[in-house]
């Protein structure tokens, strides 16, 4: 636990404005015949090198929120600021790692997949892009598979490629939308370990969506809890003291059940009243 | 049935798994003989698709030969050997190659123009609502219209030349290809689209770098269908007015020889049409698929 040098800012006010500020964001999307409100008046701040988690049951709009930060969905109300500037549409400064394996173009090898966005965003020459791709492919441990096509890789390896691709872009914020949810439990655990090791090394800023309380506690240093239908902020709690080794401890269990209570008990009560 | 259920519920007769001793042991070393044992020769040969298909072709040719010899009327049905002989003769004399080249010349012009137009139309359709409406209206109207039905009109507009053939060919390629391309584009997974936009790709670059390769299985299918339609349409159109354009193609060769009752040459022309179709289908498109979508695991 003490090995983790997470930013501890409980006493001191942060010296700089937040890297990412989500201010009173209401999101809506069109379902056939009606407008569905995904989130309502959600605000939170993400600071440099945060591992910020959006946690909630399905239907709390956490993925929609992440896509809004990615620029894929414009907010109905409120605004999203990156470095103090409102965001306009998707861009390479906010790279998303999705849950689905088909996020990797199947017609590109692992190396091409990582180098391709560097090339098309016009930032690097071919040689530089390949070099940087190889560097990050090595970081996720896929050097042996650099020339393989995605269809020959396992699910965990595909997610590693997606992470390498995102890191190679060196984005301001790395957005992850339940990236390990489609993996088996053993692989998921390993990927969480690797992600934390990468964070130790690179110190990227992470906004991470999950529906697993354990994953939230282990991966994040701060957790935002969202209540469903529509997504509203329930709480923000610190989790910098937990890591993969604290799994079974009583304090960890206590934190997990506190989150569980915040997410479900009162939500059930209000849901019951609301449904009539 | 109920007896069995009762037995299961009664505590004395309920089966209990036995508790067995545990064990731990080091892993067995890997066996070095991998499953690389060669199959017997005939099985390996049978796995070759081209060999199986060649066998079918040989059987069909034999059937033809036997039937023709039994009928013994070369005017109506010359034997396979006679057709092949005519084919070889005319191929050596340069008639068939010249006719084939004429057909190919028109075909490539019409096909290329059709592909370009289909691409433009589909690109407009994926990016705008009105483009979508335009594409769906036009394809539903014009796709069922046989290209040959447009030939009289084309002759009226463009005269007895290559231009009217090219016009008809474009019509035969454009609609099925556009339809397939559009289906392919709409079938591109949402995640892949978002990943592409995440790179900052927009407009034509987005279409070319993300949508086209992602939709390639459908696009190749459309190219195949378009090719088959175009080839058929061309031969049929040449039968109708082939030589009037001055330089007749394979269709004209068939028509001319029928008029002169050279039935073996009619068959030689037909064989040429079929051979060419097989060649494009099994070599060109197969190779294209093998090098792209099959390698990428997008189709089986």
Contact A91 B201 (CB under 8 A): no
Residue of B nearest to A150 (CA): B296
Is A264's Cβ below 8 Å from some Cβ in B? no
- Residues B194, A69: Cα–Cα separation, whole Å: 13
Is B198 within 8 Å of A95 when comparing Cβ atoms?
Answer: yes
> Do residue B296 and residue A151 have CB atoms under 8 angstroms apart?
yes
Is the pLDDT reported for residue B180 higher than 90?
Answer: yes
Peptide bond into B289 cis (omega under 30): no
Q: Do the Cβ atoms of A53 and A210 come closer than 8 Å?
A: yes
Q: Per CB distance under 8 Å, which residues of B are interface residues toward A? A: 189, 191-192, 194-195, 197-201, 205, 209-210, 213-214, 216, 292, 295-298
Q: Which chain B residues contact residue A98 at CB under 8 A?
A: 191, 194-195
Q: Do B200 and A120 touch (CB under 8 A)?
A: yes
Give me chain B's average pLDDT, please.
Answer: 86
Chain B residue at shortest CA distance from A168? B199
Tens of each residue's pLDDT in chain A, 276 residues: 444 444 444 555 556 778 899 888 899 888 888 888 888 888 999 998 899 999 988 878 888 999 999 999 999 988 999 988 898 889 888 999 998 888 999 999 999 999 999 988 777 888 888 999 999 998 888 889 989 999 999 888 999 999 999 989 888 999 999 988 888 888 888 889 888 988 988 889 999 999 998 899 999 999 999 888 888 888 888 888 887 777 778 888 888 888 888 888 765 555 544 443
Q: At what angle do helices B95-127 and B263-279 cross, to 10 degrees?
A: 40
The distance of B275 to chain A (nearest Cα, Å) reads 32
The stretch B146-164 carries a mean pLDDT of: 86
pLDDT of residue B109: 93
Closest-approach residue (CA) in chain A for B194: A72
Q: What is the DSSP string of A176-193?
A: EESTTTTS-HHHHHHHHH
Q: What is the pLDDT of residue A1?
A: 42
Which tokens is B299 given?
């189709």
Residue pair A151/B297 in contact (Cβ under 8 Å)? The answer is: yes
Q: Which of A102, A120, A149 sits opposite B191 (nearest CB)?
A: A102
Of the listed ranges B4-18, B159-173, B212-226, the one predicted with least confidence:
B4-18
Can you read off the two tokens belonging to residue B203? 């407009």
Three-class SS of chain B: CHHHHHHHHCCCCCCCCCCCCCCCCCCCCCCCCCCCCCCCHHHHHHCCHHHHHHHHHHHHHHHHHHHHHHHCCCCCCCCHHHHHHHHHHHHHHCHHHHHHHHHHHHHHHHHHHHHHHHHHHHHHHHHCHHHHHHHHHHHHHHCCCCHHHHHHHHHHHHCCCHHHHHHHHHHHHHHHHHHHHHHHHHCCCHHHHHHHHHCCCCHHHHHHHHHHHHCHHHHHHHHHHHHHHHHHHHHHHHHHHHHHHCCCCHHHHHHHHHHCCCHHHHHHHHHHHHHHHHHHHHHHHHHHHHHCCCCCCCCC
Contacts of A121 in chain B (CB under 8 A): 199-200
Q: Which tens digit of pLDDT belongs to each residue from B94-132?
A: 888 988 898 899 999 999 999 999 999 998 888 888 999
User: Which of A253, A260, A246 has its CA nearest to residue A1?
Assistant: A246
Shortest CB distance from B192 goes to which of A72, A94, A105? A105
Which residues have CB under 8 Å from A1's CB, separation 6+? A241, A242, A243, A245, A246
- Residues B226, B176 contacting (CB under 8 angstroms): yes
Q: Do A121 and B199 touch (CB under 8 A)?
A: yes
Beta bridge partners, A31, equal A34
Cα separations in angstroms, B210 against A162, A204, A274, B270: 16, 27, 45, 41
Inter-axis angle of helices A155-168 and A185-202, to 10 degrees?
20
Are B194 and A152 a contacting pair at CB < 8 A?
Answer: no
The C-alpha of B297 sits at a distance from chain A's nearest C-alpha, in angstroms, of: 6
Predicted confidence band at B9 (pLDDT cuts at 50, 70, 90)?
low
DSSP A231: B
Q: Does residue A234 contact residue A203 with C-beta atoms inside 8 Å?
A: no
Min Cα–Cα distance to chain B from A15, Å: 30
Tokens of B62: 């034999």
Interface contact B205-A120, CB threshold 8 A:
yes
Q: Is the pLDDT of residue B218 over 90?
A: yes
* pLDDT, position A162: 92
Q: How far apart are CA A6 and CA A12, in angstroms?
A: 14
Say if CB A63 and CB A209 are below 8 A apart.
yes
Structure token pair of residue A250: 């009583």
d(CA A67, nearest CA chain B) in Å = 9
Average pLDDT (B56-74) is: 91
Residues of A in contact with B199 (CB under 8 A): 92, 116-117, 120-121
If you measure CA to CA, which chain A residue comes closest to B189?
A102
Three-class secondary structure of residue A165 per DSSP: helix
Among A29, A99, A107, the strongest candidate for a mutation testing the B interface, having the largest count of B CBs within 10 A, is: A107
Contact residues, chain A, for B295 at CB < 8 Å? 149
**pLDDT reading at B12 higher than 70:** no
Task: Please give the Cα distance from B114 to B173 (Å, whole number).
Answer: 5
Partner residue facing B297 (CB), from A94, A120, A149? A149
Biggest distance spanned by C-alpha atoms of chain A: 63
Report pLDDT for A274: 40
pLDDT of residue B31: 72
Alpha carbon separation from A114 to A96, A104, A245 (Å, rounded): 13, 9, 31
Q: Name the residue among A98, A102, A121 with its Cβ closest to that of B200.
A: A121
- Nearest C-alpha of chain A: how many angstroms from B298? 7
Query: Residue A206 — left, alpha, or beta (φ > 0 → left; ψ -120 to 50 → alpha)?
Result: beta
- Answer yes or no: are the C-beta atoms of A50 and A63 closer than 8 Å: no
Q: Where are the alpha helices (DSSP H) in chain A?
A: 62-70, 110-120, 126-139, 155-168, 185-202, 213-219, 250-260, 266-275
Residues 6+ apart with CB under 8 A from B294: B300
- The answer to whether the CB atoms of B199 and A120 lie below 8 A apart is yes
The verdict on a CB contact (< 8 Å) between B205 and A100 is no
Using a CB–CB cutoff of 8 Å, tell me whether A89 touches chain B: yes
ipTM: 0.83
Q: Cβ of A170 under 8 Å from any chain B Cβ? A: no
* Nearest CB neighbour to B199, from listed A92, A102, A107: A92
Higher pLDDT, B143 or A14: B143
Give pLDDT tens digits for B21-47.
888 888 888 776 655 567 788 888 888
Query: In terms of Cα–Cα distance, which of B185, B181, B180, B176 is closest to B214?
Result: B185
Mutate to test the interface with B, among A100, A104, A167 (most CBs of B within 10 A): A100
- A92: contact with B, CB 8 A cutoff: yes
């Amino acid at each position: 636990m003490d090995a983790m040098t997470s930013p501890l800012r409980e006493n001191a006010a942060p010296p700089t404005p937040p890297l990412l500020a989500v201010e009173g964001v209401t999101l809506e999307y069109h379902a056939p015949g009606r407008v569905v409100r995904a989130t309502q008046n959600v605000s939170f701040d993400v600071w440099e090198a945060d591992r910020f988690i959006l946690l909630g049951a399905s239907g709390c709009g956490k993925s929609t929120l992440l896509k809004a930060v990615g620029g894929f969905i414009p907010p109905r109300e409120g605004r999203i600021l990156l470095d103090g500037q409102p965001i306009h549409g998707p861009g390479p400064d906010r790279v998303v790692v999705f849950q689905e394996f088909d996020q990797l173009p199947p017609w590109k090898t692992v190396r091409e997949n990582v180098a391709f966005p560097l090339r098309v965003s016009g930032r690097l020459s071919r040689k530089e892009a390949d070099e940087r791709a190889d560097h990050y492919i090595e970081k996720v441990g896929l050097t042996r598979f650099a020339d393989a096509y995605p269809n020959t890789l396992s699910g965990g390896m595909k997610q590693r490629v997606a992470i390498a691709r995102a890191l190679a872009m060196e984005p301001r914020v790395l957005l992850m939308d339940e990236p390990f949810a489609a993996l088996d439990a053993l692989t998921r655990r390993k990927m969480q370990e690797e992600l934390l090791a990468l964070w130790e090394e690179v110190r990227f800023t992470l906004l991470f969506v999950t529906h697993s309380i354990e994953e939230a506690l282990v991966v994040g240093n701060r957790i935002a809890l969202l209540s469903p239908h529509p997504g509203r902020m329930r709480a923000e709690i610190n989790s910098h003291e937990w890591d993969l080794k604290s799994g079974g401890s009583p304090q960890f269990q206590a934190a997990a059940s506190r989150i569980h209570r915040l997410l479900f008990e009162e939500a059930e009560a209000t849901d019951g009243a609301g449904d009539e | 049935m109920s007896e069995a259920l009762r037995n299961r519920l009664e505590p004395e007769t309920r089966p209990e798994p036995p508790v067995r001793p545990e064990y731990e042991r080091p892993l067995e070393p890997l066996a070095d003989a991998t499953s690389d044992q060669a199959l017997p020769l005939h099985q390996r040969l049978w796995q070759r698709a081209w060999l199986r298909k060649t066998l079918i072709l040989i059987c069909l040719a034999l059937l033809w030969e036997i039937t023709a010899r039994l009928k013994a009327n070369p005017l109506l049905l010359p034997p396979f050997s006679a057709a092949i002989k005519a084919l070889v003769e005319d191929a050596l004399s340069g008639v068939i190659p010249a006719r084939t080249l004429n057909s190919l010349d028109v075909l490539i012009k019409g096909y290329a123009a059709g592909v370009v137009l289909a691409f433009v139309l589909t690109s407009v359709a994926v990016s705008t609502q009105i483009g979508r409406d335009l594409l769906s209206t036009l394809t539903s109207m014009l796709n069922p219209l046989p290209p040959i039905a447009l030939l009289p009109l084309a002759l009226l507009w463009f005269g007895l030349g290559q231009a009217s053939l090219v016009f008809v060919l474009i019509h035969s390629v454009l609609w099925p290809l556009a339809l397939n391309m559009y289906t392919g584009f709409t079938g591109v997974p949402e995640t892949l689209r978002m990943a592409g936009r995440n790179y900052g790709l927009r407009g034509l670059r987005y279409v070319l770098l993300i949508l086209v390769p992602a939709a390639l299985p459908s696009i190749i299918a459309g190219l195949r269908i378009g090719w088959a339609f175009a080839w058929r349409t061309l031969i049929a159109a040449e039968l109708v007015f082939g030589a009037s354009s001055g330089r007749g193609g394979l269709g004209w060769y068939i028509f001319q020889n029928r008029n002169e009752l050279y039935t073996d040459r009619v068959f030689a022309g037909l064989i040429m049409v079929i051979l060419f179709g097989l060649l494009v289908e099994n070599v060109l498109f197969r190779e294209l698929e093998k090098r792209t979508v099959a390698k990428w695991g997008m189709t089986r």
